């Protein structure tokens, strides 16, 4: 079964073709980061307009690379939510219109389900059940995943998401939006011993997180020491990264111990963080557990994970619906997905 996937929930337009037998066939992505960087964050109206501009060329590109006619598509999966409503509407309306014109069914997909399943795109995919650490710009959750559509939230952030904490701290250090990757690069040259930041909720006894205090701690260091000196900036970045990575790693271990599961899957943009990967690898090796990451290009938003999630849902028995009547779900708790 050949599924076209369309992602437009935030600042990336992604289109992909996934075949349930052959895997990922082709994909194309346009990131709006450069456009939003000028404003220090995502401007929703600009995001929607850019999705409109990009979506047709990206579809042509994907189909062209695959060397397949549009008629070969069996179903169209698109991100219905959560995300920015205007941005979601572009992908949703486009997918529904395409479905209507081709006479193909459509399947609305939950964006986080796409992230959760994205490690299954890799050459060495994880087996169910597993614990998923979902760390993106908008979400931070630990989940028990027992199958497609079977997700139980074990803990989540009470305030800022991990990616949001990276981005806000990066901004305080004068780095351009979105600063997660840049902060992480800067942290590599920083001295981990110079500053010691709090590890929020490390001993809370549950699997929840809180990162807004960490960002405030970064603000205090910037106020005390200034952000003009490159060494100080790198040391602050390192202190922040040490703290957030320790919390993410320890809570992931706690989730594995608590559930007795032996496989961890990391998804979302912060999953690209090198220090997080190093420390998770070490911890998993020590406990003889397995850890899986999505390929780097599928850590952040993309169409491939949506096409995959659509194909897996169809294989697991979810029904696609006739195209034509639609709505987006900008706020859509993952727990609402029926098991
Ligand atoms: O998964 P994603 O595209 O976001 C949402 O769907 O919300 O991830 C984007 C987030 C941003 O906050 C970005 O700064 C962060 O992932 N990110 C990183 C790294 N690369 C991207 N954070 C830390 N280290 C990185 N290497
Ligand atoms: Zn995302």
Domain ranges of the chain: 2-116+298-337, 128-293
What's the average pLDDT block by block, 10 residues per block, for the chain (339 residues)? 98 97 97 94 97 98 97 98 97 98 97 94 95 94 96 96 97 93 97 97 96 97 95 98 98 98 96 97 98 93 98 93 90 81
Q: Which pLDDT score, from 0 to 100, does residue 335 have?
A: 82
208-230 pLDDT, tens digit per residue, is: 999 999 999 999 999 999 999 99
138 lines ligand 1 (CB under 6 A): yes
Q: Which CATH superfamily is domain 128-293 in?
A: ATPase, nucleotide binding domain (3.30.420.40)
How far does Cα 101 stand from its chain's mean position?
31
81 lines ligand 1 (CB under 6 A): no
128-293 and 2-116+298-337 share a CATH fold: yes
Q: Which pLDDT score, from 0 to 100, does residue 104 have?
A: 97
Give the number of the atom of ligand 1 that is nearest the alpha carbon of residue 139. Answer: 7
Structure tokens belonging to residue 91: 């992908």
The pairs formed by 223-231 with CB atoms below 8 angstroms and a separation of 24 or more are: 227/172, 227/173, 227/174, 231/191
How many CB atoms lie under 10 A from the CB of residue 1?
Answer: 13
Model pTM above 0.85 = yes
DSSP letter at 297 equals G
- Output the CA 121–ligand 2 centroid distance in Å: 16
79-98 pLDDT, tens digit per residue, is: 999 999 999 999 999 999 99
184 lines ligand 1 (CB under 6 A): yes
Q: Which pLDDT score, from 0 to 100, does residue 326 have?
A: 86
Give the number of the atom of ligand 1 that is nearest the alpha carbon of residue 9. Answer: 6
Q: Which pLDDT score, from 0 to 100, does residue 325 have?
A: 84
Q: Which pLDDT score, from 0 to 100, does residue 338 have?
A: 62
- Output the CA 6–ligand 2 centroid distance in Å: 13
Architecture of domain 2-116+298-337: 2-Layer Sandwich (3.30)
């Amino acid at each position: 079964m050949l599924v076209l996937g369309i992602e437009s929930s935030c600042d990336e337009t992604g289109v992909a073709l996934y075949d349930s037998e052959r895997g990922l066939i082709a994909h194309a992505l346009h990131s709006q980061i450069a456009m939003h960087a000028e404003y220090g964050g995502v401007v929703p109206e600009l995001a929607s307009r850019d999705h409109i501009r990009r979506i047709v060329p990206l579809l042509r590109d994907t189909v062209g690379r695959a060397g397949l006619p549009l008629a070969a598509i069996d179903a169209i999966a698109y991100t219905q939510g959560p995300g920015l409503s205007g941005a979601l509407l572009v992908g949703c309306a486009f997918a529904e219109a395409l479905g209507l014109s081709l006479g193909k069914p459509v399947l609305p997909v939950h964006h986080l389900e796409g992230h959760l399943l994205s490690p299954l795109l890799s050459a060495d995919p994880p087996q169910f059940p597993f614990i998923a650490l979902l760390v993106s710009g908008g979400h931070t959750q630990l989940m028990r995943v027992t199958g497609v559509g079977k997700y139980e939230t074990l803990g989540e952030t009470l305030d800022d998401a991990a990616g949001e904490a990276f981005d806000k701290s990066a901004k305080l250090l004068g780095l351009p939006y979105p600063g997660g990757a840049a902060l992480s690069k800067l942290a590599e040259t920083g001295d981990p011993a110079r500053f010691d930041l709090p590890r929020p909720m490390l001993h809370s006894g549950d699997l929840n997180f809180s990162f807004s205090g960490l960002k405030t701690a970064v603000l205090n260091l910037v106020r005390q020491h200034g952000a003009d000196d490159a060494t100080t900036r790198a040391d602050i970045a390192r202190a922040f990264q040490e703290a957030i990575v320790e919390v993410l790693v320890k809570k992931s271990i706690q989730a594995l111990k608590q559930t007795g599961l032996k496989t961890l899957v990391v998804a979302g943009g912060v999953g690209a963080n090198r220090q997080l990967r190093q420390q998770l690898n070490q911890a998993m090796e020590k406990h003889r557990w397995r850890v899986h990451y999505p390929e780097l290009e599928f850590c952040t938003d993309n169409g491939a994970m949506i096409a995959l999630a659509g194909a897996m849902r169809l294989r697991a028995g979810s029904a696609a619906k006739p195209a034509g009547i639609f709505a987006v779900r900008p706020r859509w708790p993952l727990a609402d997905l029926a098991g």
